[in-house]
A and B are shown apart, each in its own frame.
Chain A
């Protein structure tokens, strides 16, 4: 039985990581939205947050990077790391009854424009609309149906995380708030907060 009460979604862009930072912040608005949403989650669940993210990309694993990017981003936003599991343990099962707050690190396609990382794919808008509508309307069942194969075609490697979120939230989503919805680099980002019933 899931005990999830609140969910925050942030994107899996590496631009959120300080190790890739510059003098100016190219994602300042996004970062502010992420920080605010994560703070909201931490205040409500100070010792019981689980993280949902996609797997480490196989090409990055082959280069020696085994930690999933989504986990690194979650740890950064939660101000912790795997060796200090004060209120985050990446090993925790999110359907564990001790977990009531969930941070999901995932985004949409990366093929929305000709300047996008994956160049323009006309299917991107439709794919992102499916995910975006599910997030806006608090529809976990719709997230469970997101097409993983199409996601990979569109350079979205986070579909397993969308599926996991869909599985986790069993009760109704009482309130869905979209704090950020934009594609500044041709990659679809959302920052969303859900409050769930049980």
Chain B
């Protein structure tokens, strides 16, 4: 399905890199490396150079912590969105927020995508996307409250729950006026899930792809990778890329990542294995 992300349209075989840009002092992976605006802007330049089609700008870390109100979230992201929009007109600008009020403000500054990591916790977010012609990412969290950790959450069938909730959210977005080509679903690894559940979602990702909605995966350096390999936050790239390969083989369309170059290489390799992309240069045995 053709994917329309705000001002930008992508062919149905395009696999897109969404680079994470945190405007936070305390996110789990970069720990404030791009908290300063100029550092964040340098990160945008770097990931654009590495070939990312999308930047995902977030002002609140996912884990519990100090309350960040709407005003503070907007201070962190709104002007930055405008700066990136102006500097990179061809770049898709996504904002990681669950709040409709923030969504409206950042769309007014030029955001193309509202990436709701918290499963529709604010039901008006779809209206914000519809009003501005923005795309929306519909995640599955099992109904948890934003910024809470999963605690003994169980599912009779985790993938069925993911499909049911994501597709219901997607249809709700369309009913609110979001273009059907501008809706993406995300099973949200680690969110409302333990490691075993996130692994099962990865193993059965093809069932999500089978719904017909474009699938985004956010795997990068997450705890389910860390627990699978018993590795700390800074040691999870290999495991992340293994999970990425599985999702690419299943047909995921968008990859929300810290490491753009490495992820792109994995996705391109998988696409070539799948017969969807010719090798970059093939001379071995052919000369």
Question: A interface vs B, CB < 8 Å?
Answer: 12-14, 19-20, 22, 24, 57, 59-60, 62-65, 69, 110, 114, 116-119, 155
- CB–CB B154/A65 < 8 A: yes
Chain B: CB-nearest residue to A59: B143
A20-B194, A63-B156 known; A118+B142 contact, CB < 8 A: no
Cα-based distance from A62 to B154 in the complex (angstroms):
10
B248 to nearest A CB, angstroms? 25
- CB–CB A64/B156 < 8 A: yes
Q: From B144-152, B167-175, B279-287, give the one contacting chain A.
A: B144-152
B98 to nearest A CB, angstroms? 18
Among residues 150 to 202 in chain B, which have CB atoms less than 8 Å away from a CB atom of chain A? 150-157, 161, 194-196
B43-64 to A contact mask, C-beta < 8 Å, 1/0: 0000000000000000000001
Which listed residue (B151, B161, B227, B228) contacts A117, Cβ 8 A? B151
* Contact of B90 with A by CB under 8 A: no
- CB–CB A19/B151 < 8 A: no
* Contact of B131 with A by CB under 8 A: no
- CB–CB B155/A118 < 8 A: no
Which listed residue (A22, A65, A110) contacts B227, Cβ 8 A? A22
B227: chain A residues within 8 A (beta carbon): 22
Chain A: CB-nearest residue to B150: A117
Q: Is the interface of A mostly helix, strand, loop or mixed?
A: loop
* B interface residues, how many (CB within 8 angstroms): 21
- CB–CB A14/B152 < 8 A: yes
Chain A: CB-nearest residue to B160: A64
A22: chain B residues within 8 A (beta carbon): 195, 227-228
Cα-based distance from A64 to B143 in the complex (angstroms):
14
B165 to nearest A CB, angstroms? 10
A24-B230, A117-B149, A118-B151 known; A63+B161 contact, CB < 8 A: yes
- CB–CB A63/B151 < 8 A: no
- CB–CB A118/B194 < 8 A: no
Chain B: CB-nearest residue to A56: B154
Q: Which 8 pairs between the two chains have the least Cβ-Cβ distance?
A: A64-B156, A119-B64, A117-B151, A65-B154, A63-B155, A60-B154, A117-B149, A14-B152
A63: chain B residues within 8 A (beta carbon): 142, 153-156, 161
Cα-based distance from A14 to B153 in the complex (angstroms):
9
